[in-house]
Amino acid sequence: MAPVPHLTPRPAAAAKGPVESGRPGDGLPGFRRSLGEFATGVTVITAAVDGVPYGMTSNSFASVSLDPPLVLWSIRRESTSFAAFSACTHFAVNVLAHDQMDLSQRFARSGPDKFVDLAYTEGGGAAPLFDDVAARFECRRTEAFDGGDHLILMGEVETFCRYDRQPLLFAKGRYAVAVDHPDTRVVTEPAPKADARGIDNQPLAHLTARAYSVMASRLEKGRKTAGLGLSLMQARLLKAAHTYPGATLGDLLPELFLDFNASLDVLESVVDLGLVTVDADGKVHLTGEGEARILSIVEHARFSEEVLLQGIAREDLAATQRVLSRIIEQQF
């Protein structure tokens, strides 16, 4: 990754005015963040050319027509998979389910080893098809259109399938899941009661994600109150850079739970704050101010955890720490 250019700080917006505004050419990160306000699903588009499978994460997928059944998506011209997708005759759209964030992150990275040790079957044109998705569309490519720095690919859906699974969503630069809006609940219908057995029976990964969400929300509120001046994602990037010194942004993606473009926005913001630098090899380094800031964040997090976790037996917390530490160690 090339060094991130310095960005001019944006003036604070009025309380009821826009957070950011302007022309796209004046500041692409702000324009990209504004586009991120439109929530989308997450797909992995796949194809095969000369017997070689290709795949990439995309949220540009959209339905065009029911009759004939047409869909489209777009690929960045600088993508390493551009030549393959621009030459393919068929492609498949794998609409990811809520628990397939790891699959999204795998195909958001560049590299030739995306399909290593990954189970899949072949659909039309030998395009890879994944199991446990929310939906899937096998398409014959029909047309391609110039889309500026992207190429827009249109395809006619030849077969489709849908499963009883919740989709994975992406909004505001982060992954999300769908929940019913409170205004859609029927007034005469009582809210369902929490089922302790349902919580106990959930997979550990789901419980860990839910617990993290609760803790992260409390910590972010605390950071704002304490005047630490960083968002959750900025703090997470600093902590990742502190844990893995000299890593590239691509290396840090698994720690950020964001796609590359959203992570780049976060990186640019902390570069602008003088907390990190990016060298000519794309390696991220904390500055002296960044080191001091992350130490303050860690100290604040520990204090906040003591308040948040009070009432939980110490032996239970110790057991939880041991389990989580063992899980983390298994990645190496």
Residues near 253 by beta carbon (within 8 Å), at least 6 away in sequence: 105, 108, 109, 259, 260, 263
Q: Report which of 196, 190, 123 is spatially closest to residue 161, judged by C-alpha positions.
A: 123
Residues near 124 by beta carbon (within 8 Å), at least 6 away in sequence: 90, 92, 138, 139, 140, 158, 159
Identify the pLDDT of residue 178.
Answer: 79
Distance in angstroms (rounded) separating the CA atoms of residues 42 and 119: 19
Q: Is the pTM of this model over 0.95?
A: no
3-state SS class at 179: coil
- 313-to-209, 212, 240, 321 alpha-carbon distances in Å: 21, 19, 29, 13
* 89-124: pLDDT as tens digits: 999 999 999 999 999 999 998 877 899 999 999 999
Identify the pLDDT of residue 278.
Answer: 93
Residues near 70 by beta carbon (within 8 Å), at least 6 away in sequence: 63, 64, 142, 154, 155, 156, 157
Domain spanning 40-171: CATH superfamily: Electron Transport, Fmn-binding Protein; Chain A (2.30.110.10)
DSSP-based helix, strand, coil % in the chain, nearest 5:
40, 25, 35
Residue whose tokens read 């290593």: 116
Give 283's DSSP letter: B
Q: Where are the beta strands (DSSP E) in 30-81?
A: 40-41, 43-49, 52-58, 62-65, 70-76
3-state SS class at 220: helix
> Tell me, which fold does domain 200-329 have in CATH?
Arc Repressor Mutant, subunit A (1.10.10)
Instruction: Give residue limits of the domains in the chain.
Output: 40-171, 200-329
- 122-to-49, 132, 138, 154, 261 alpha-carbon distances in Å: 12, 15, 10, 20, 29
Identify the pLDDT of residue 6.
Answer: 41
Q: What is the DSSP string of 121-156?
A: EE-GGG-EE-SS-SEEEEEEEEEEEEETTEEEEEEE
* 235-275: pLDDT as tens digits: 888 989 999 999 999 888 888 877 777 888 889 988 998 99
List the chain pLDDT tens, one digit each, 332 residues: 444 544 444 444 444 578 778 888 776 778 888 888 888 999 999 999 999 999 999 999 999 999 999 999 999 999 999 999 999 999 999 999 999 999 999 999 887 789 999 999 999 999 999 999 999 999 999 999 999 999 999 999 999 999 988 899 998 888 888 766 655 544 434 444 444 445 556 677 777 777 766 776 666 665 555 445 677 788 888 989 999 999 999 888 888 877 777 888 889 988 998 999 999 999 999 999 989 888 887 777 777 677 777 778 888 888 888 888 888 777 64
Distance in angstroms (rounded) separating the CA atoms of residues 29 and 266: 9
